[in-house]
C-alpha cells in the first residue's frame, strides 16, 4: 500500500518532527561512518528549503532507558551541522520542557536535534505519554528512518497517531526500490536473490518468501551446512538440527525458485581467523571441519548466474568475510553484483553493506539499504510497524 510522501505535503511555516536513523558507528568518540547521516540530508534539506522549522530525533545505541554520557548525540549533531552547512540546535530532552522551548524558538529553515530517544524508557515501550510529548513538539511527523521501521516505538508508531504522518525521501526510496525488486516480470527477470547467514532457521522465512517472488536463490553462509545435510551429505562440525535440515529440504523440494547451493566450500578445523583453510567438494566435507565460506568453483558459478540477472537482491555474506582467509566468496559476489551494469541491484543493510563499502563498490550498486533488520523483515514479507503507521496516499 502506497504511503503519503513529504513531496506531497506543504510544510511552509510548519514545525516538522523528523525521525531519522543516526545510529552511526562510533569509536573513541569519533564517527567512523557518517553514511546514515548523509542519507537523511535530502529530506532535511527539502524541509529547510521549504520554510519548515525542523525538529530531528533519533536513537543511538542501547542505553536501556537511562542517560549514558557516551551515547549522547553531541558528535552526531556536530557532524550533521557540518553536512547541512547550517547550525543544528541542541533541543535537549528527549522528554521534559526544553524540547518544546527550543522548538518554539525555531525560525523557518532552522534545525534542532533532540537528545537520544532511548534515554527515555517510554520510547521502546511505545508509551502513550511519551508519544504524545513528541507529537506536541510539531505540526507534522515525517519518518525517514527505514532502519528503525521494524520497531513499534513511540517515535515510529505512537507519534503517528497524533499527527499527519508521512514518509521522508529516504523512506520513500527504500520502499519503492525494495518493493520493485521483489516483482518478477518480463522487464525485471531473471530476478536473483543471494542469501547468506549463519543459520537456516534465521533466514528460512526470507528464503521462503523470496522463493515465491524471484527466479533463483543463491545460498551462502553458515546455513550451507543444513542444505548439505538435506542433500544427504555431511554438514561438517556445525550443529545442524532436524528442524534446520527439514527447512532446507523443504525449500529445495518446494518447486518454487531454483535454489542453488555451493558445489564447494572453504572449511577450517576451528572458528578462528588463523585456522588453516581447506577447499572441500560439496560431498566431502569432513565431520570435524566448519564451513566458513563458499569455494572458488561456487564463487565462479554464482558470478555467472549474477552476470545474467536483471534484478539482484543480496542479504547476508557468503562466509566469515571479516577474516581474509574466508572473505573470497563474499568479495567475488560483491564484485559480480557491481559488474552487472544492466541489473537493478539492491543490497540489504548490515554486514552486506559493509562488504561492498570495504571494497569501494557502493557507487556501483543501485541501492544499498540503510536498514539491516528492517530490510530483512521486508524481504520476509512482514508489515513494518513504522511504515504501517504512516498515512496512506490518497
| Homologous superfamily (CATH) for 182-379 | Phosphoglycerate kinase, N-terminal domain (3.40.50.1260)
Q: Vertex 179, ends 178 and 183: CA angle to 5°? A: 115
Q: Vertex 47, ends 115 and 26: CA angle to 5°? A: 35
Out of 199, 222, 316, 386, which one is annotated catalytic? 199
Whether 41 has a pLDDT exceeding 80, the answer reads yes
Out of 51, 373, 381, 382, which one is annotated catalytic? 373
* pLDDT recorded at residue 354: 86
Q: Which is more confident, 372 or 245?
A: 245
Whole-structure pTM value:
0.84
Q: Where residue 348 falls among pLDDT bands split at 50, 70, 90?
A: confident
Distance CA 263, CA 25 (A): 36
Out of 236, 319, 349, 350, which one is annotated catalytic? 350
Out of 19, 36, 53, 203, which one is annotated catalytic? 36
The mean pLDDT value for 356-382 works out to 88
> Annotated catalytic, 199?
yes
Statement: 6-171 belongs to CATH 3.40.50.300: no
Enumerate residues 6+ apart whose C-beta is below 8 A from 181. 188, 191, 311, 313, 344, 346
Q: Would 6-171 and 182-379 be classified into the same CATH topology?
A: yes
> Annotated catalytic, 36?
yes
pLDDT in tens, 180-219: 887 767 678 899 999 998 878 778 888 998 898 899 999 9
Each domain of the chain, given as residue ranges in start order, spans 6-171, 182-379
pLDDT in tens, 210-268: 898 899 999 999 999 999 999 999 999 999 999 999 999 999 998 888 999 999 999 99
* pLDDT recorded at residue 195: 94
Give me the DSSP letters along 238-294. Answer: S---HHHHHHHHHHHTSSSSEEE--SEEEEESSSSTTSPPEEEETT---TT-EEEEE
pLDDT in tens, 261-319: 999 999 999 999 999 999 999 999 999 999 999 999 999 999 999 999 999 999 999 99
Percent of the chain whose predicted confidence (pLDDT) is above 70:
99
Amino acid at each position: 500500500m502506497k504511503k503519503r510522501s513529504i513531496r506531497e505535503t506543504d510544510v511552509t511555516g510548519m514545525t516538522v518532527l523528523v525521525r531519522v536513523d543516526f545510529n552511526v558507528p562510533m569509536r573513541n568518540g569519533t564517527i567512523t561512518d557518517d553514511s546514515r547521516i548523509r542519507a537523511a540530508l535530502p529530506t532535511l534539506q527539502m524541509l529547510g528549503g521549504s520554510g519548515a522549522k525542523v525538529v530531528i530525533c533519533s536513537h543511538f545505541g542501547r542505553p536501556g532507558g537511562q542517560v549514558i554520557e557516551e551515547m549522547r548525540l553531541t558528535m552526531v549533531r556536530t557532524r550533521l551541522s557540518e553536512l547541512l552547512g547550517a547550525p543544528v540546535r541542541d533541543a535537549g530532552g528527549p522528554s521534559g520542557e526544553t524540547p518544546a522551548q527550543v522548538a518554539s524558538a525555531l525560525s523557518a529553515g532552522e534545525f534542532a536535534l533532540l537528545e537520544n530517544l532511548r534515554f527515555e524508557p517510554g520510547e521502546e515501550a511505545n508509551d502513550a505519554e511519551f508519544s504524545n510529548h513528541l507529537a506536541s513538539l510539531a505540526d507534522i511527523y515525517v519518518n525517514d528512518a527505514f532502519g528503525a521501521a521494524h520497531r513499534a516505538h513511540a517515535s515510529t508508531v505512537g507519534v503517528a497517531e497524533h499527527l499527519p504522518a508521512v514518509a521522508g525521501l529516504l523512506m520513500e526510496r527504500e520502499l519503492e526500490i525494495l518493493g520493485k525488486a521483489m516483482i518478477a516480470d518480463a522487464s525485471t527477470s531473471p530476478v536473483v536473490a543471494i542469501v547468506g547467514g549463519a543459520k537456516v532457521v534465521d533466514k528460512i522465512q526470507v528464503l521462503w518468501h523470496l522463493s515465491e517472488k524471484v527466479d533463483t536463490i543463491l545460498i551462502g553462509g553458515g546455513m550451507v551446512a543444513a542444505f548439505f545435510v538435506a542433500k544427504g551429505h555431511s554438514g561438517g562440525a556445525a550443529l545442524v538440527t532436524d528442524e534446520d535440515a527439514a527447512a532446507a529440504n523443504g525449500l529445495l523440494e518446494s518447486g518454487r525458485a531454483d535454489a542453488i547451493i555451493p558445489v564447494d566450500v572453504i572449511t577450517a578445523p576451528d572458528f578462528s581467523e588463523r585456522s588453516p583453510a581447506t577447499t572441500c567438494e560439496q560431498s566431502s566435507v569432513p565431520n570435524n571441519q566448519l564451513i566458513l565460506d563458499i569455494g572458488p568453483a561456487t564463487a565462479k558459478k554464482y558470478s555467472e548466474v549474477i552476470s545474467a540477472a536483471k534484478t539482484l537482491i543480496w542479504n547476508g555474506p557468503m562466509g566469515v568475510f571479516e577474516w581474509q582467509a574466508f572473505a573470497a566468496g563474499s568479495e567475488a559476489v560483491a564484485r559480480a553484483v557491481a559488474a552487472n551494469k544492466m541489473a537493478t541491484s539492491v543490497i540489504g543493510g548490515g554486514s552486506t553493506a559493509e562488504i561492498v563499502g570495504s571494497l569501494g563498490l557502493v557507487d556501483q550498486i543501485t541501492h544499498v539499504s540503510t536498514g539491516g533488520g528492517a530490510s530483512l523483515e521486508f524481504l520476509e514479507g512482514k508489515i513494518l510497524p513504522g511504515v504501517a503507521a504512516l498515512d496512506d496516499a490518497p
